[in-house]
Structure 1
Amino acid sequence: MSDPTVEPGAPADGATNLPSASEKSVAAEAKRRVPKLAQLAATPDRIILRLNKLLAAPGGLSAFLSTFNYTLYLLAWLEAKSTPLKIRIYQLLNNTTVVTVVDNGPSHIAALGSLLSSTRTTLRLFGLLPMYAWFRQLMQGPKPGQDRILYATSVTQCCLYISFQFLENVAFLTDHNVLPRSYTTRWTQASGGKTAKIYLWSYRSWMGGVLCDIVRLFREAQLERARRSQRTTTDVSTMEEDKATDEKWWSQMVVPLSWLPVAIQFSKEGGIPGFNLGIMGLCGAMAGLGRTAELWAKTAE
């Protein structure tokens, strides 16, 4: 005889411990079986949000595009040099000595690098605005207690960078027919109307600005040594502070030293013998990597 207390359609006593529908869901089961699945799924989301913060930070877009651009140059060079390796791998996998025809058409990586380079040049058209603000600030004179050599170096560097940006803008706008070519005939007629001469002097100004960074850093090191020599005692906290200062100095010195070969290459007619896309990509990537890594670390805050 059946239990009269059990209503039609209601579960029997043996089924009262069944889990709820939410507990039996696929998402809950996956989360229970694979605890890190949700974290892995959220990783791309976090990366995209951090990348957005990096690009929105002051100087973030410029630093990211520069590092990415020169990394592409390095990859394009490695791709071009990998043809013998591709042939050898094909021969090993197919157990043959036949030399296959490898597609040596235009590199898509190099094309993207060229596009980014043009994009960065376009964005630099507005670079004279912050340089004017910097120059205007410098014209107010050195700050109280500022070293005279450092101040003179900053003024020189600012003038050189303004010259670089102005000449690059003129050449770039002339190449794209925004400025009439008659404006630059005096400098382009010797090269058949090409703006190579304008770019050459633009890059020479840029190289001067890079050298100013090296002068500034050496002067700062000289002043720091003089300051440390006047100490009477040194404790643990002071040593840690000095270590942090030294690390910061070296990280800053890497930037102009990395840019210098690139600057010389573009500032010298004919360039540096043996200089190639791979060297340029490596130098540029090293120069921008520190700044990009610093900005990326701040996005986690």
Structure 2
Amino acid sequence: MAEPAQPADPPQEPVDPLKSAGKPTDPAGSESPPPPSPANLRHALGSALSTTDITVRRLDTLLSTAAGQESVLAAINYSSHALHYLLASAAVAALRTRLRLILFRLARRKATAPEVPSQPASSSPSKPPLLALSSLISETRYTLRLFGLLPLWTWGSATLRSPPADPVIRNIVLLQVLMNVLYQTLENVAYLASKGILPKRILDRWGGIGKWYLWSTRAWLGHVVLEFVRLARESAITKRKEQEQKKQISTEEGDDKETTTVVELTEEEREARRLEIRRWRKKLVNNICWAPLCVHWSLEQGAGVPDSLTGFISFLAGAWGLYDSWNATATSA
């Protein structure tokens, strides 16, 4: 038996050109989205202003402390230095030249042979902007560190009044205080002499300003070496404590068999342990980054670290600390 015939499609309604006139359509034939309403614009503007207000207040909180201010200035100092050498690298320079050539071809009006516009020769070469910014921030940090002996005094005083329980760590910390005082004193004298505040002839008797900066960095290197020793000692002490806490071995009377009791840590103890491990790793990363730079700057001829990497490595040394300092401002925003 034959299937019933399918009903014919209903006739299409003719399109009224007067109704469709004035309705913008995209190439696909669909209507463009309506413009945002004033209420939506006000909401978006208010949200943007609120986000900006929170960010500015967090930045102000970060800059209100000496440590936060140093972290931000150091990040600008080292990132601008690293960015300069990144943009001056061969690959990026070739990309910039290619882009300039493309823009020049698009912009030229006459049908002449294409040529790359040459930069006018400068009579007095100036420092590149990013290096100039890095130098400015670096000098600002030198100036602020003129007061660096004050927190070092506080650090030493607190160590003497409440010394670490472990005698090895206590002696290491006292040596670190001494190394930092020597470092900061030598740097301050050299910096003031370079600005003409202190007579240079006094420093010239002991090798000049360059030698004072060199020995200042060597004192900093001493602090870095001692920090490796302190971190190793802290790790050894922590491992010994964990073994004592997790296993309590008791020997039964008259029997050589040993029984082991596993001590479960509370949630607070596990969180404290996690934060302690994170703090230890952060200090280790910071020290690993500074160690090769301190060795390089402590030698008159350097240790082979290229200038193009010093800013990047220095930025890595403080990136973790800056990240934590920024996150800490979220509670006060």
For the superposition of Structure 1 and Structure 2, which TM-score range results when normalised by the shorter chain?
Answer: 0.7 to 0.9
Deviation sequence 1:99-138 (CA, Å, 0-9, x none) = 5535885311110100100010010011111112222333
> Distance in 2 between the 1:42 and 1:240 partners?
33
Q: Tell me the TM-score normalised to structure 1 length.
A: 0.80
Contact 1:153 1:212 in 2 (8 A): yes
- Which has the higher Rg, Structure 1 or Structure 2? 2
Shift of 1:243: 4.0
Alignment partner, residue 119 of structure 1: 140
State the one-letter code of the partner of 1:214. F
1: CA distance between counterparts of 2:224 and 2:53? 38
Matched, 1:30 2:38: yes
Alignment coverage as a number of residue pairs: 266
Q: Deviations over 1:146-188 (max 9, x none)?
A: 1111111101110000000000011011111111123223113
Q: How does 1:283-294 map to 2 (within 5 A)?
A: 283-294=313-324
Residue number in structure 1 paired with 2:69: 61
Cα gap change, 1:265/1:32 in structure 2, threshold over 3 Å: closer, same or farther?
A: same
Q: Secondary structure at the match of 1:36?
A: helix
**Superposition pairs of residues 9-24 of structure 1, within 5 angstroms:** none
Asked whether 1:168 is paired with 2:206, we answer no
Residue 281 of structure 1: SS of its match in structure 2?
A: helix
Contact 2:63–2:72 (Cα < 8 Å) also in 1: yes
1:101 to 105, 118, 123: 118
- For 1:89 and 1:176, the matched residues in 2 are separated by 43
Aligned runs of 1:134-283 on 2, under 5 Å?
134-140=155-161, 142-143=163-164, 146-188=165-207, 194-230=208-244, 231-232=246-247, 233=262, 235=264, 237=267, 241-273=272-304, 275-283=305-313
Structure holding more helix per residue: 1
Alpha-carbon contact 2:282-2:321 (below 8 Å) kept = no
Matches of 1:87 and 1:152, distance apart in 2: 57
Shift of 1:60: 0.9
Instruction: Please state how far the C-alpha of 1:58 moved relative to its aligned partner.
Output: 4.6
- Provide TM-score, normalisation by structure 2: 0.73
Residues 25-77 of structure 1, C-alpha deviations (whole Å, 9 max, x = no match): xxxx5334664331123322222211110001351111111122111111111
Opposite residue 188 of structure 2, the aligned amino acid is N
What SS class does the counterpart of residue 178 from structure 1 fall into?
Answer: coil
Q: 1:12 — aligned with what? A: none
The one-letter amino acid of 2:199's match is P
- RCO comparison, higher one (Cα < 8 Å, 6+): 1
Which residue of structure 2 aligns with residue 10 of structure 1?
A: none
Compared CA separation, residues 131 and 94, structure 1 to 2 (3 A)? same
Rounded Cα–Cα distance in structure 1 between residues aligned with 2:285 and 2:39? 46
Q: Which consecutive residues of structure 1, in runs of 5 or more, have no partner in the other structure?
A: 1-28, 189-193
Among all aligned residue pairs of Structure 1 and Structure 2, give the percentage whose two residues are the same amino acid: 29
